Structure 1
Amino acid sequence: MTAPGWVGYFGLERTPFGKRIAARDLFARPAHAEAVARINFCVAESALGVVTGDVGAGKTVAARAAVAGLDPTRHQVIYIANPAFGTRGLYVTIVRALGGEPRYQRAELMVQAADLLAAEEAERHRRVVLIVDEAHLLEPAQLEELRLLTNAEMDSASAFAGILLGQPTLNRQLRMGTFAALDQRIVTRYAVRGMDIGESAAYLRHHLALAGRAEPLFADDAIARLHRVSGGLPRALNNAATAALIAAAGDAKHIVDDHCAKKAVAELTRD
């Protein structure tokens, strides 16, 4: 894919704030490292954990970093990007990921999923890691089925590690009385917050360096404005920084100043 003209204008080798970045090159910050550590703990203990945060806070990025560090010969990762497929969809996804052909009858499908999960650990010596993104969209019936799947060996063990990634409403939903049994099975919870201004500045420098630019490109006042409008959320900061770069190139400037940042913010917030 051909890079936009402004990429070469700033001496960059590629677009600096895109999604396609290797897990090893992800920007490391305390919140990210803490989320990865919580996920790794759940994997090691075959436990259930919850990672929440606003849209674009970096929940999925943390999960991707954690998965990248797992030994694929000892772990089977099942990633569900969107759980809006009903209770049957949950079982079907698990069965297919573990190499089975889903049975038609729901009762048989439930047993099939449980058996395949148990066999993966007992026979293949691989731990299943089930990651459910957008978990705040899970229906009450799906949450109950998830609880049932965690029962193993008379409720003394779980046949898989489960990671629920979702918006802050997920925690409030889980703490409703009807989900008490599932809530009690959650061994760790972590909320990924937005970056502070120092982290936002370091984030911009990090991604520019990955794209081949070592010299400063954003003025301090531009960074401050982009940080404010993005709330320190990586995805929003990516969009704001890209818009500011385009504005600077359009004005034939070689440094993104506050004027360019202001133009970018106006463009992004325009109705």
Structure 2
Amino acid sequence: MIDAVIDRFGLTRMPFGRDLPPGRLHRHADCAEAAARITWAVACRTIGVITGEVGTGKTAAIRAAVAGLDPAGHNVIYIGNPATGVRGILTSIVTALGGRPAHGTAALAIQAWNVLAGEAAERGRTPVLILDEAHLLDHEQLEAVRMMTNHEMDSSTPFATILAGQPTLRHNIKLGVLAALDQRITVRCQMKGMTGDETASYIRHHLEAAGRTADLFTDDAVTQIHQAARGKPRTVNNIAVAALIATAGAGKNLVDQAAARAAIAEITATD
């Protein structure tokens, strides 16, 4: 079916996938703002928190920000599933920087700190620790992250930390028991999704990246997709792909309201 869609609409590849290189990502305002704040947090070697509902583009913003970093001056440590306990996070840090994890969590914590500091002092590269899905972190893990930022009597930190997760992360950090961590966060961004005009631009952008310059979605179809997705890029992707398949299956040349409705019903079905 994918080949049929590509051939029917004059595409070079299937659009609305996650395989666009960072330099070709759609830079709507939400994504651009989050990427800019991440970049600032990295430059200042501080803690940044990026939150948003599922599908609002947090990981895409991280990709965009990381792509803009000088690889000679930064070492990115990305942990996509932090629900591995404190030891799991520390092990990932040590391993990423070429160390062999020590036995015992206390010794491993010291080792993780040393390799992070050594990367900055000895190699001149700023470690960038990115914890995605950070709403899954428990109190112990969040406190471990804070403790790693202690350095030289609180005067400096040799690495940057980016916590990205769903809105519950923001609420969890505000709990009184995490006040010390909350006070260390200097960059915050809440992603809310795209506007209607940005959704239209987003759809055109992905079609152009797939080789289609002529209009393919009617204005009414775009409006329906935006409203159903609430501006969330991931949901827009899913509905748009389903709408393309429905349109090709119906033998039509434009994605219209009927195709958009069918796609929305398919994607939002709960049975």
Percent identity reads 52
Partner of 2:185: 186
Amino acid in the other structure paired with 2:37: R
Q: Distance in 1 between matches of 2:163 and 2:199?
A: 26
CA displacement at 1:71 relative to structure 2:
1.1
Tell me the TM-score normalized by structure 1. Answer: 0.98
What residue is the counterpart of 2:112 in the other structure?
Answer: 113
Match of 1:240 in 2: 239
Code of the aligned partner of 1:58: G
1:265 counterpart letter in structure 2: I
**Which residue is equivalent to 1:80?**
79
SS in 1 for 2:208: helix
Q: Which runs of 5+ in 1 are unaligned?
A: none
For 1:89 and 1:160, locate their aligned partners in 2 and report how far apart those are by CA, in whole Å: 19
Query: 2:13: which partner in 1?
Result: 14
1:207-227 superposed Cα distances (whole Å, 9 cap, x missing partner): 001101110000111111111
Q: Which residue of 1 aligns with 2:145?
A: 146
CA distance in 1, matches of 2:89, 2:209: 38
Q: Distance in 2 between matches of 1:221 and 1:42?
A: 40
1:4 Cα shift?
2.8
1:110 to partner: Cα distance: 1.0
Q: CA deviation at 1:106?
A: 1.6
Matches within 5 A, 1:93-104: 93-104=92-103
TM-fit CA distance, 1:153? 0.8
Q: Which residue of 2 aligns with 1:48?
A: 47
Q: 2:258 maps to what in 1?
A: 259
2:206 equivalent to 1:207: yes
Counterpart of 1:25, as a letter, is R
> What SS class does the counterpart of residue 131 from structure 1 fall into?
strand
Partner of 1:92 in structure 2? 91
For 1:250 and 1:262, locate their aligned partners in 2 and report how far apart those are by CA, in whole Å.
Answer: 14
What displacement does 1:3 show?
4.7
How far residue 31 of structure 1 moved from its aligned partner, in angstroms, is 1.3
> C-alpha root-mean-square deviation of aligned residues, in Å?
1.0
Please give the secondary structure, in 2, of the residue aligned with 1:229: helix
Q: State how far apart, in whole Å, the 1-side matches of 2:204 and 2:28 are.
A: 13
Cα distance between partner residues in 2 of 1:99 and 1:172? 35
> CA deviation digits over 1:106-158, x for unaligned, max 9?
22111111111111111110000000000000011000100100001111111
Q: Counterparts of 1:4 and 1:264 in 2: how far apart (Å)?
A: 19
